[in-house]
Structure 1
């Protein structure tokens, strides 16, 4: 029991690491979780600090032992299986999350969520609140992040200011989730155009199956955000199926709702910047993780979901 307590000593909202692994074996050895890489010359073992890790993505050519899964579960680390580069192997395949099993997670957040979720009007109001928080986070981050500003990303640029104002109006006037999704799709399209213009990326079209670097980095970065969202919901004990915006027919849709809080703010601009710089996947991933930590993305997700769990019924 002492070991389990130590492994969970760091709150999930404060953990710093996300791992993407490929062509290696993950195992437990001497009370630690390691991954083994092999080449013709030698074998190398690398330690994973599981107490300070939120998500591990296992890409192509990986295997994991039962003992390693048991230790990761004890530390509350989510495991995701994905294709190469952190994105699905096939376009129709979603990342599958293996959630640590614990019957001692809080119940108050799920109970609060369910109090409003079956009411269509209240669920719409929560969806609107999520989008408002998303815009507020973008304005806050882009107004203070000097690295993004050095690349020309400002929330008060004429084009961005107009797009944000239009989306705010659409959020306020939306009578149902379909109208809200329509406004969100238009706003995202404007963001792509803005980022493409700032990074001189000609004729960009968002296509998750495309093989250009910008699209590949968007796919990769989005799945990092999905990992944070899945972690947030698991820790708070809220099942992924109780979405407020992306539809009740998709089993994991609430993950997409929560990931949207930070995705466009932190992933989208760096995907375009990294593509222009011809960065490697590892360099892009490291930039995303630095941004998550710098702007306390996981804290923001936790605060937003907890607030809605406890206050959504009063909207």
Structure 2
């Protein structure tokens, strides 16, 4: 197994690839992780560049060998089993991932995290910082993304400005996490309304029984964001269960908190735009991955978690 040590080291925050694979077999061939598809007359092997990959989602009709899992774990690739189209994630309860096993995760960030996490007042302060960073990122992305401008999303529009200003103030004033969760839900609902208006779509959020394209795309894109969030937490060594906003009894709740940093900015508007344009699910997925790379979503997640870990330990 000497080839495991020959992997080119690429920081997780700089990795480019997220894979969703279905109806194939993932295996090791000639020292590389590949997936095998069967055409009418021949079998075809396609390489997965694991050193430059953050997440692999295995959809319906897939199988994977132990050797392939071992190589992906050595490269620090998170693995998830999902239904068709990338949702729902079914590898574990709630939103969870098969994390690579390593005894060498850093301890600095989890120690800082735990220094404030058991104090409800401090945890609320960090939760508010999460939401404010989320709004700052949305303003930054929407103010410079020309493709969003072409679709009618401008941060200086009155309704968007009003939403950002209103919820920035309300976030600061929330007395507890229950009120903060309610405020966060109202913000997202308001952004749904803005996006539906821009794209002239009738929309009601239905996460569990999605039938229209906007809801299907939202679910799909959100799971991609969950993958990035889980990767960030694994690299920094912070367990997924130490959430600051979402339910403390859900073992993947911190994944939701971290994913929320980018979902409104990079997933939400494009779910509506792609639904309006009647794109395929694959085209929508490629748009999301392009957004992640263009706006450095992983970098932002890493920087935010490091910042909040440090600030939280000093409260």
Normalising by the smaller structure, the TM-score range is over 0.9
Separation of aligned partners in 2, 1:67 and 1:56: 15
TM-score by length of 2: 0.96
* Equivalence for 2:15: 15
Separation of aligned partners in 2, 1:144 and 1:19: 27
Helix, strand or coil at the partner of 1:197: helix
Report the Cα offset of residue 39 of structure 1: 3.1
* Equivalence for 1:60: 60
8 Å CA contact retained: 1:82, 1:94: no
Report the Cα offset of residue 6 of structure 1: 4.2
Report the Cα offset of residue 255 of structure 1: 0.1
* Equivalence for 2:30: 30
8 Å CA contact retained: 1:88, 1:94: no
* Equivalence for 1:206: 205
Separation of aligned partners in 2, 1:107 and 1:292: 27
Separation of aligned partners in 2, 1:314 and 1:43: 57
8 Å CA contact retained: 2:94, 2:252: no
Helix, strand or coil at the partner of 1:201: coil
Report the Cα offset of residue 105 of structure 1: 1.5
* Equivalence for 1:79: 79
What 5-or-longer segments of structure 1 have no aligned partner? none
Report the Cα offset of residue 249 of structure 1: 1.1
Helix, strand or coil at the partner of 1:25: strand
Helix, strand or coil at the partner of 2:269: helix
What is the 5 A alignment of 1:234-313? 234-313=234-313
Separation of aligned partners in 2, 1:176 and 1:253: 17
What 5-or-longer segments of structure 2 have no aligned partner? none
Number of aligned residue pairs: give it.
313
* Equivalence for 1:43: 43
Separation of aligned partners in 1, 2:278 and 2:181: 33
Report the Cα offset of residue 313 of structure 1: 2.1
Give per-residue Cα distances to partners, 1:248-302, cap 9 Å, x unaligned. 1111000000000000100001111111111111110000000000000000000
Separation of aligned partners in 1, 2:44 and 2:224: 26
Report the Cα offset of residue 40 of structure 1: 2.6
- Is residue 69 of structure 2 the alignment partner of residue 69 of structure 1? yes
Report the Cα offset of residue 89 of structure 1: 7.1
Separation of aligned partners in 1, 2:260 and 2:89: 22
Helix, strand or coil at the partner of 2:35: strand
Report the Cα offset of residue 94 of structure 1: 4.0
- Is residue 150 of structure 2 the alignment partner of residue 150 of structure 1? yes
8 Å CA contact retained: 1:80, 1:97: yes
Separation of aligned partners in 2, 1:93 and 1:289: 25
Separation of aligned partners in 2, 1:96 and 1:179: 26
Give per-residue Cα distances to partners, 1:45-75, cap 9 Å, x unaligned. 1100000000000111110000000000010
Moved over 6 A (4+): none
Give per-residue Cα distances to partners, 1:159-195, cap 9 Å, x unaligned. 1111111111111100100010111111100100100
In the superposition, relative to structure 1, how do residues 49 and 313 fare at CA in structure 2: closer, same or farther (>3 Å)? same
8 Å CA contact retained: 2:94, 2:251: no
Separation of aligned partners in 2, 1:15 and 1:116: 31
* Equivalence for 2:178: 178
* Equivalence for 1:140: 140
8 Å CA contact retained: 2:24, 2:62: yes
Separation of aligned partners in 2, 1:210 and 1:314: 43
- Is residue 110 of structure 2 the alignment partner of residue 106 of structure 1? no
Report the Cα offset of residue 155 of structure 1: 1.6
CA RMSD after TM alignment: 1.5
